[in-house]
């Protein structure tokens, strides 16, 4: 592995300064206030202004609405967004996952205007995967789609559909052949969320983010919104799933984060910096600074070690490590600060930007984002370590009579 620093040429330095100046003007206090209140991971003005410059998906060619950035320019953009603590960009990552499948499997006359609007920040696509009783077993989908000529009628419900309330379409997993093996009877659709019969109900998470239940009651859509072949949805779905789980992806010449859990670590990093600054400013009972207390320094040091480990652990292992680090160390930092660490942003006596309080709330959901840590441990076992699939005691008894 090459750890050589990337030296920016004059063009990249100029681009870096241009991006930094633009983002500083774009991410105004009202943008952060809205995200703090809604937890949507989306801001219309931000997405459209980035899209107008081709900077929402800057890696895409100019003719597709992007900026044609090379790998170094892409990395500059990512780091500048991290520098701005751009939590409103969450839905960009979610919306990007189905775009390649839409391009590959849908008719061009349907896909092209949707993709153009998505790249330019006017359209969002959410993921209609999980169901109320399905957990992480996406292939066990029960939302039913029944064909009648050129039309399909969809019934059922999806759970944890993050961003549905701000999205235009959902990339929906449906069951089209209930008699086929579960991986064989699936069909994917790109369902317009303003279709009659779609109801979106918000769910507030502990972190303050919003996710949703989406109900489909006799939702009728045209066959042109089908993505891929009938009952071939599992093949269509594999691309977005593998990208979300980072299986077998190109690491962009070493210019991406080594760990796919790096975003979790950055939340922890901001909390560590906040607690370190608080410790320097807070007097101990003997009049010295809390930062002089060896136990305080040990706690901060332990958090930094876990932070670095989360950043440096590659691939799906990093997803698990980063979540574990954030959950454990955010709790440790809260314990170190005491009651003041639990005060939210804008509360009287809150420390800094309340990054520690936010980290502790946000940490609780990281064990489920993009698939639970248990799913990722299975991925690690099967795809990285080459271990066989588990054979749990009693499984054959409980599975007796189930169609294979």
pLDDT average, residue stretch 210-230: 97
Mean pLDDT on 99-120: 95
- Same domain for 358 and 270: yes
Token couple for 77: 């953009």
Residue at 86 is within a domain: yes
pLDDT score recorded for residue 8:
93
Whether 196 contacts 154, CB under 8 Å: no
- For residues 223 and 261, membership in a common domain is answered with no
Residues ≥6 apart with Cβ < 8 Å to 296: 279, 290, 336
The pLDDT of residue 103 is 94
Please tell me whether residues 91 and 142 are part of one structural domain.
no
Mean pLDDT confidence for 201-216: 91
pLDDT of residue 24: 96
Regarding whether 376 and 267 lie in a shared domain, the answer is yes
Question: Has residue 402 got a pLDDT over 80?
Answer: no
Domain extent at residue 211 = 125-231
Pairing outcome for strands 151-158 and 210-222: antiparallel
pLDDT at 38: 84
Are residues 189 and 292 both part of a single domain? no
The predicted model gives 17-35 an average pLDDT of 94
- Residue 349 counted as domain residue: yes
Residue 370, pLDDT > 80, answer no
How many CA atoms within 13 Å lie on the side-chain side of 330? 29
316: pLDDT confidence band, cut at 50, 70 and 90?
A: confident
Q: Are residues 266 and 334 both part of a single domain?
A: yes
**How far is 68 from 46, CA to CA, in rounded Å?**
20
Of the candidates 273, 358, 370, the one whose C-alpha atom is nearest the C-alpha of residue 320 is 370
* Whether residue 180 is found in the same domain as residue 269: no
Give the CATH number of the domain where residue 30 resides. 1.10.540
Of 137-141, 186-190, 336-340, the least confident? 137-141
Dump pLDDT digits (tens) for 172-185. Answer: 999 999 999 888 99
% of the chain residues with pLDDT over 70: 91
Average pLDDT over residues 321-350: 95
pLDDT at position 81 over 60: yes
- Among the listed ranges 105-109, 169-173, 390-394, which one has the minimum average pLDDT value? 390-394
Regarding whether 217 and 135 lie in a shared domain, the answer is yes
Calculate the average pLDDT of the chain.
90
Position 246 in a domain: no
Does any domain span residue 196? Answer: yes
The answer to whether residue 165 scores a pLDDT higher than 80 is yes
Query: Under DSSP, is residue 340 helix (H, G, I), strand (E, B) or coil?
Result: helix
Find the mean pLDDT for residues 346-354: 92
- Say yes or no to pLDDT of 215 above 60: yes
Q: Which residues contact 234 (CB under 8 A, 6 or more apart)?
A: 139, 183, 184, 186
Instruction: Supply 98's token pair.
Output: 């189905």
- Exposed, middle or buried by CB within 10 Å (0-12, 13-18, 19+), for 345? middle
**391 pLDDT band (50/70/90 cuts)?**
low
Residues 378 and 272 in one domain: yes
Q: How far apart are CA 192 and CA 169, in angstroms?
A: 4
pLDDT in tens, 4-16: 788 899 999 999 9
With respect to residue 250, please indicate whether it lies within any of the assigned structural domains.
no
Does one domain contain both 14 and 74? Answer: yes
**Inside any domain, residue 189:** yes
Q: Is residue 2 part of a domain?
A: no
CATH number at residue 147: 2.40.110.10
- pLDDT of amino acid 374: 87
Is the same domain home to 35 and 152?
no
Q: In this structure, how many other beta carbons lie within 10 angstroms of the beta carbon of residue 350?
A: 16
Indicate whether 396 pLDDT > 60.
no
- Can you give the pLDDT at residue 35? 86
Per DSSP, the residues of 69-137 read --HHHHHHHHHHHHHTT-GGGHHHHHHHTTHHHHHHHS-HHHHHHHHHHHHTTS--EEEE---TTTTT-
| Domains contained in the chain, number | 3
Q: Which pLDDT does position 400 carry in this prediction?
A: 46
* Same domain flag for 92 and 169: no
Residue 123 has pLDDT above 90, yes or no: yes
Assigned domain for 379 exists: yes
């Amino acid at each position: 592995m090459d750890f050589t620093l990337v030296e920016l040429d004059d063009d990249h330095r100029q681009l870096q300064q241009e991006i930094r100046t633009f983002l500083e003007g774009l991410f105004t206090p009202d943008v952060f206030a809205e995200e703090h209140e809604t937890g949507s991971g989306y801001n219309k003005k931000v997405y459209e202004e980035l899209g107008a410059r081709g900077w929402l998906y800057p890696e895409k060619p100019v003719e597709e609405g992007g900026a044609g950035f090379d790998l170094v320019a892409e990395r500059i953009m990512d780091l500048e967004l991290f520098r701005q603590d751009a939590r409103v960009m969450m839905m960009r990552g979610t919306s990007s996952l189905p775009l390649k499948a839409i391009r590959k499997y849908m008719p061009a006359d349907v896909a092209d205007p949707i993709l153009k609007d998505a790249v330019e920040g006017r359209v969002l696509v959410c993921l209609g995967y999980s169901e109320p009783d399905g957990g992480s077993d996406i292939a066990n989908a029960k939302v039913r789609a029944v064909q009648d000529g050129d039309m399909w009628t969809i019934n059922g419900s999806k759970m944890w559909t993050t961003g549905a309330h701000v999205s235009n379409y959902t990339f929906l997993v449906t069951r089209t052949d209930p008699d086929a093996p579960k991986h064989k009877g699936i069909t994917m659709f790109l369902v317009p969320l303003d279709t009659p019969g779609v109801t979106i109900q918000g769910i507030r998470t502990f972190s303050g983010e919003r996710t949703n239940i989406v109900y489909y009651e006799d939702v009728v859509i045209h066959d042109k919104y089908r993505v891929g072949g009938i009952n071939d949805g599992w093949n269509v779905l594999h691309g977005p799933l593998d990208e979300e789980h980072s299986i077998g992806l190109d690491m962009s010449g070493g210019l991406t984060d080594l760990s796919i859990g790096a975003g979790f670590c950055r939340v922890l990093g901001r909390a560590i910096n906040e607690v370190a600054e608080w410790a320097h400013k807070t007097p101990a009972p003997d009049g010295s600074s809390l930062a002089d207390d060896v136990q305080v320094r040990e706690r901060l040091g332990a958090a930094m070690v876990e932070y670095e480990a989360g950043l440096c652990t590659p691939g799906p292992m990093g997803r698990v490590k980063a979540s574990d680090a954030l959950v454990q160390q955010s709790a440790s930092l809260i314990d170190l600060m005491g009651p003041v660490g639990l005060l939210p942003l804008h509360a009287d006596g809150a420390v800094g930007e309340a990054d520690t309080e936010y980290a502790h709330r946000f940490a609780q959901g990281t064990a489920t984002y993009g698939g639970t840590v248990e799913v990722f441990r299975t991925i690690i076992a099967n795809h990285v370590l080459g271990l066989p699939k588990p054979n749990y005691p009693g499984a054959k008894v409980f599975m007796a009579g189930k169609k294979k």
